[in-house]
Structure 1
Amino acid sequence: MPDLFFSNEKEGHFHNIIMPNVYIRIFPNGSVLYSIRISLTLACPMNLKLYPLDRQICSLRMASYGWTTNDLVFLWKEGDPVQVVKNLHLPRFTLEKFLTDYCNSKTNTGVTTLLTMATQTSGINASLPPVSYTKAIDVWTGVCLTFVFGALLEFALKPLVRHPGDPLALEKRLQCEVHMQAPKRPNCCKTWLSKFPTRQCSRSKRIDVISRITFPLVFALFNLVYWSTYLFREEEDETF
């Protein structure tokens, strides 16, 4: 009987319900089939620098405990040595729909988004082994948290940035209205330019408009650099 063992095994057990799951068959040509059902937890070193864009390969290492390769050689069965259940799949979350009824002007969506990002970051770190390097998911969540915190900071600074000569600056907000004569035909250029602050507009309004333009542009630039960098590194790692 081959003294087989798994060199990268961390934990394993046999199945004995209701009877031991093992059998031996001897064929007329002298071949002997020995089958046994076991469950194993194997060690698999992983490089998570590109997570979740990584691709890991875990090996199943088998060896003989007392015999050398001169006496015993293990070979995979020809044809279909590994069989996987067809309906086996990983659990995923599917976004069906979302409602905006609860996201009105009275709801502080920034704080909710910040708490959600913090919860997701904690869940990701809890489900992965601790490593000493920065993962791709850490860069993504870190930058997203920075943008959300920046939006909250911009919202908090708006009431403090007022005209220095306004005596009611701390009591009420300065309203800025841009009066434009409605054209007969819709003009996209004038509609876009009307969103920019004029000289009569308050500083807080100017900061708000600048943030509406700066935040999406910077986030789009970050996406371009992020995906270009990590997708290229993924292809490079697969090549080697």
Structure 2
Amino acid sequence: MDSLGLMWGVLLVSVLLSGRFQVDGRHHRGKRGPEDEDTNRLLVRDTRDDTDKADATNEISKLSNRTTSVTPTMVFLNILDNYDQRLRPNFKGPPVQVYCSAYINSISSISEESMDYTVMLFLRQRWNDPRFVYHDYNDSITLYEKVLDKIWVPDIYFVNEKGAPFESTSGHSTLLRIHPNGDVLYSAKKTILLACPMNFQLFPMDSQACKIKMESYGHTTKDIEIWWSKEDAVLIDQDIQLPDYDLVTWTTNNNCDSHHTTGTYSCIETKLFLIRHIGYYLIQNYIPSILIVILSWLSFWISPEIAPARVALGITTVLTSTTLTVVSRSAMPKFSYVRAIDVWMMTCALFIFSALVEFAVVHFIFKRDKKFAISRRARELSQRLPRKKKATDKKDVTSEDADDQVDFKPDKGMSSPELDQDTVAASEEAKPHRTPAEIKALYMRRARRIDYYSRLLFPLLFTVFNILYWSVYLSWYH
């Protein structure tokens, strides 16, 4: 109990003492002098200055952090501040080396009549521009077509272009990419109509070489030199399928500089080698013409007595052959040289026309007996005339009688009846006169003999022609 009372006493004394100190402090602050007030003001001002310095330091650190994260836009805008797109890189220095590559995506509309074709490709150009060197950004910068007017690009154009370029349906057809070392990649999608001079002497077993030729328009070789890229200069889509041709190979050429009055301009070109498909023309021209020629030979099996049938067949085949010849040239330009298919069509027309002429000869020989009937009547009238008149006309009658007595042996061939008549007239005078039936049978045999020989000769000659034609032209068909 004594210890507990002592503790309470000590606690009460300490409370009283602390209250006294607080009262003295208040009285002391209430009676501060000028020096004390100035000291407090300096302490407050120092505290505020320290706070402002801390805030300024924080703002500076934030701005420094922002400047360290450089954006591609800032880099490009900084480059454009001192950039003049009207001047080429290394102005008044060595020529700019421009390396090109092309990826051909499609080839279409190859026209023989206008000698052109349409190609869609991606043209990529690479060069170095020291004005594009930057160090604030460690990656390449990709730009689009809106900034092309603000930078310099090579003025490359297609020399054999015929038509205006087609507009891209997607709206985005160009790409520009710059690298920290100043290398520039410019890629553009182009759909163009190009001229392709063609030679059709071997048509339809021909091959064509179509060019894609590019050169600088306004800069001579002192300013720009254009080259194909060393690797993958020209690539072609493997899915390209042409209805009339096969794309077999292509070549590139760097040495085709153009020399003009204004200077020498750097040029590059590639050749696309195309081989025509012959299957379509076999079905459209060759096989029908063969069938028409064979059809004309059917007249050799028709009797010469049936003239209307043979005439109709011959004229029909001639007109059909002429139509096929005209159709084969309808989709071609108007040239003067002879094509391979023209040789074929003209030979077929010659065979068909020869078959029609053969019928005319056969029909003439077949009806020759009517002439001898007229000669017999003339002889009977001459017997009734006076003897003097009869003697005067002896030569004429004798010649006419000789006509009645003409006889050809089978080994005489297909010679003309009038020529053979004069040749054997002297030997036939001593022979007895033939009856009209015998004369008619004689000339019918001769006519049918000509048909028989034609059945063998025409197919043989046409077969020989086919062997020569296909062996010669297929040897030139690559």
Q: TM-score when scaled to structure 2?
A: 0.36
Kindly provide the CA deviation profile for residues 183-238 of structure 1, in whole angstroms up to 9, marking residues without a partner as x: xxxxxxxxxxxxxxxx8962221111111111111112222332343344x27xx7
What is the Cα deviation at residue 148 of structure 1? 1.0
Distance 1:200 1:65, change over 3 A: closer
Matched residue, 1:159: 363
Within 2, Cα distance between the matches of 1:77 and 1:112? 62
What is the Cα deviation at residue 6 of structure 1? 1.5
Question: Which segments of 5 or more consecutive residues in structure 1 lack a partner in the other structure?
Answer: 170-198
Matched residue, 1:79: 232
Within 1, Cα distance between the matches of 2:231 and 2:322? 50
- Output aligned runs, 1:60-209, within 5 Å: 60-70=212-222, 71-76=224-229, 78-79=231-232, 81-84=234-237, 86=239, 88-90=241-243, 93=280, 108-162=312-366, 164-165=368-369, 202-209=445-452
Tell me whether 1:221 sits opposite 2:221 in the alignment: no
CA contact (8 A) 1:5 1:63 kept: yes
Tell me whether 1:22 sits opposite 2:161 in the alignment: no
CA contact (8 A) 1:51 1:136 kept: yes
Distance 1:203 1:147, change over 3 A: same
User: For residue 319 of structure 2, what is the amino acid of its counterpart?
Assistant: L
Within 2, Cα distance between the matches of 1:212 and 1:58? 48
Q: CA RMSD in A?
A: 3.7
User: For residue 448 of structure 2, what is the amino acid of its counterpart?
Assistant: K
CA contact (8 A) 1:12 1:41 kept: no
CA contact (8 A) 1:163 1:202 kept: no
What is the Cα deviation at residue 49 of structure 1? 2.1
Within 1, Cα distance between the matches of 2:313 and 2:241? 38
CA contact (8 A) 2:365 2:444 kept: no
Tell me whether 1:57 sits opposite 2:204 in the alignment: no
Kindly provide the CA deviation profile for residues 3-60 of structure 1, in whole angstroms up to 9, marking residues without a partner as x: 11111222232214363x5121416564423212322131x23332222222121111
What is the Cα deviation at residue 109 of structure 1? 4.7
Distance 1:6 1:80, change over 3 A: closer
The count of corresponding residues between Structure 1 and Structure 2 is 200
User: For residue 365 of structure 2, what is the amino acid of its counterpart?
Assistant: V
> Once the two structures are aligned, what percentage of the paired residues are identical?
33
By percentage of residues, which structure has more helix?
2
Tell me whether 1:33 sits opposite 2:186 in the alignment: yes
- The secondary structure found in structure 1 opposite 2:209 is coil
CA contact (8 A) 2:366 2:444 kept: no
User: For residue 321 of structure 2, what is the amino acid of its counterpart?
Assistant: M
Within 1, Cα distance between the matches of 2:239 and 2:313? 42
Within 2, Cα distance between the matches of 1:77 and 1:24? 21
Matched residue, 1:187: none
CA contact (8 A) 1:12 1:39 kept: yes
By percentage of residues, which structure has more strand?
2
What is the Cα deviation at residue 141 of structure 1? 0.9
Q: TM-score when scaled to structure 1?
A: 0.66
- The secondary structure found in structure 1 opposite 2:470 is helix
What is the Cα deviation at residue 163 of structure 1? 6.6
User: For residue 451 of structure 2, what is the amino acid of its counterpart?
Assistant: D
Matched residue, 2:109: none
Question: Which segments of 5 or more consecutive residues in structure 2 lack a partner in the other structure?
Answer: 1-152, 245-278, 303-308, 374-441
Bigger Rg, structure 1 or 2:
2
Distance 1:231 1:18, change over 3 A: closer
- The secondary structure found in structure 2 opposite 1:12 is coil
Kindly provide the CA deviation profile for residues 103-160 of structure 1, in whole angstroms up to 9, marking residues without a partner as x: 9986955444333322221122222222232222221111110001111222343332
- The secondary structure found in structure 2 opposite 1:56 is strand
CA contact (8 A) 1:12 1:38 kept: no
User: For residue 191 of structure 2, what is the amino acid of its counterpart?
Assistant: I
